[in-house]
Amino acid sequence: MTLTMRNARILRHTGFYIAAFLTTAFVATPILFALLGGFKDNQQLRENALGLPAPWNTANYTDVLASGTFWQQLFSSVFIALVTTFIVVICSAMIAFAFARFAFRGREGLFTLFAAGMMFPFAVAVLPLFIILRTFELLNSPFGVILPQAAFGLPLTIIILRTFFRQIPAEVEEAATIDGAGPWLFFTRILLPMSRPVLATVSVLALVGSWNSFLLPLVVLQKSTWWTLPLGVTQFSGQFASDTAKVLAFVMLAMLPALVFYAFAERHLISGLTAGGTKG
């Protein structure tokens, strides 16, 4: 009896591992192709597509890393993502605070307006945005990307933050008021520090959204000065279409920051992204 149960368990586990390893191969193959392909030269890619690089050829990676374009695009991506995140989190936190803790005329209507913003696909707005940004002379400026991105990030961030702020007991605010703190002091000194976990969640959402954004930078950043990595990679792959190995190295290096971020902030990233998914 126990023996057959053990056998059944072993059989079941074998099934698990077969399925899991098949999926692993499915997931990992393209990434390994980029990683290893970057260490090959184009002749190896043609003749030894499946094997390990022989010899290992680091020129593709070092060329990309020494080129300046990569670093410049990395800087643009990071700058735009950080400023977007900063703006969207600050603005949303202030609005969510007002929605959660104040009673005022038109509050529900205003909240509905923001919530309705979730219904607008970004692509709907991109043409008029282009015209508006052109009028403000924000084309080719990082702020032409930052401001619309931050604006489109507001609804979800406000909804998540409002839910959290509402859960903080009124006694906390009363105690602060008795101690003489006004709304600003309460907001900056007490509420924001208390909300660190949820702020981390919404920051991750904004950061990832900006990091991955493509259509808006494509439309706004026509000159290469402020190109972000997604734009840079697509342009690079067009420009060096005949040099597959170098493009693979560039692709791998462009994926690396996200992979490193994932490795270190895996818990925040998953909870943030799934929160964004389920609250949408």
Residues between 92 and 131 that touch another protein (CB under 8 A): 92, 94-95, 97-98, 101-108, 110, 113-114, 117, 119-131
Measured CA to CA in angstroms, residue 278 lies from 85, 131, 156, 272 at distances of 20, 33, 11, 10
**Is 196 an interacting residue with respect to another protein (CB under 8 A)?**
no
- Considering the rule CB under 8 A, would residue 251 count as an interface residue with another protein? yes
Say how many residues touch another protein, by CB under 8 A. 99
Residue 11 interacts with another protein (CB under 8 A): yes or no = no
Contact residue for another protein among 6, 7, 17, 189 (CB under 8 A) = 17
Residue 148 sits in the site that holds another protein (CB under 8 A) = yes
8 A C-beta contact, residue 230 and residue 145:
no
Say whether residue 37 binds another protein (CB under 8 A). yes
Site membership for another protein, residue 175 (CB under 8 A): no
- The angle formed by the CA atoms of residues 147, 205 and 199, to the nearest 5 degrees, is 95
269 binds another protein (CB under 8 A): yes
Smallest CA-to-CA distance from 202 within 114, 98, 273 is with 273
Q: Which of 80, 83, 87, 199 binds another protein (CB under 8 A)?
A: 87
Per CB under 8 A, does 86 bind another protein? no
Binding to another protein by residue 165, rule CB under 8 A? no
Give the one residue of 11, 19, 54, 59 binding another protein; rule: CB under 8 A: 19
Distances (CA, A) of 201 to 82, 157, 206: 14, 9, 9
| Cα separation, 90 vs 101, whole angstroms | 16
Rounded (to 5) percent helix, strand, coil in the chain: 80, 0, 20
Residue 72, token pair as written in the block: 């410049």
